[in-house]
Amino acid sequence: MINPVQRVVHVDMDYIYDPAPKQQEAHLGKLIDRIKDLAPRVVYLQAFADPKGNGAVDAVYFPNRHMPMRADLFSRVSWQLKTRAKVEVYAWLPMLSYKLPANNPAATHLVQSVAGAPDDPRHL
């Protein structure tokens, strides 16, 4: 019989990141210990930075060509969680909370809804 209940944890990487490498390592070590104690099956790792806490993505924690990178931290944290805490790790990335840098060519593209679109309040 399959158990539909799963123990999962959401990790905000803004609390792991620190400009001081020793402090960042201490944060990571504490995270691994906590995850081991909680023993979830899955960890959703927030792969973006939102230091202002306003819900908008300011930067990401992995190398890419579209968004600023706050630190190359995602792969290290996910690997440590997988190998030391023995959990499945998934990236959590919002789809509609990005504001591209002004110098990005796609930043000038306008996305708008039309009547009858799925997000039209008349159809919710």
Question: Residue 52: what pLDDT?
Answer: 84
Question: Residue 116: what pLDDT?
Answer: 57
**DSSP 3-state assignment of 105?**
helix
Dump pLDDT digits (tens) for 47-68: 999 888 887 888 999 999 888 9
Q: What is the count of structural domains for the chain? A: 1
Rounded Cα–Cα distance for residues 41 and 39 (Å): 7
- Domain for residue 117, yes or no? no
- Domain for residue 115, yes or no? no
- Domain for residue 108, yes or no? no
Q: In the chain, which stretches have pLDDT less than 50?
A: 123-124
- Domain for residue 110, yes or no? no
Question: Residue 115: what pLDDT?
Answer: 60
Question: Residue 111: what pLDDT?
Answer: 64
The residue segments making up the domain with residue 51 are 8-98
- Domain for residue 24, yes or no? yes
- Domain for residue 2, yes or no? no
- Domain for residue 114, yes or no? no
pTM: 0.75
CB atoms under 10 Å from CB of 45, counted, come to: 23
Question: Residue 66: what pLDDT?
Answer: 80
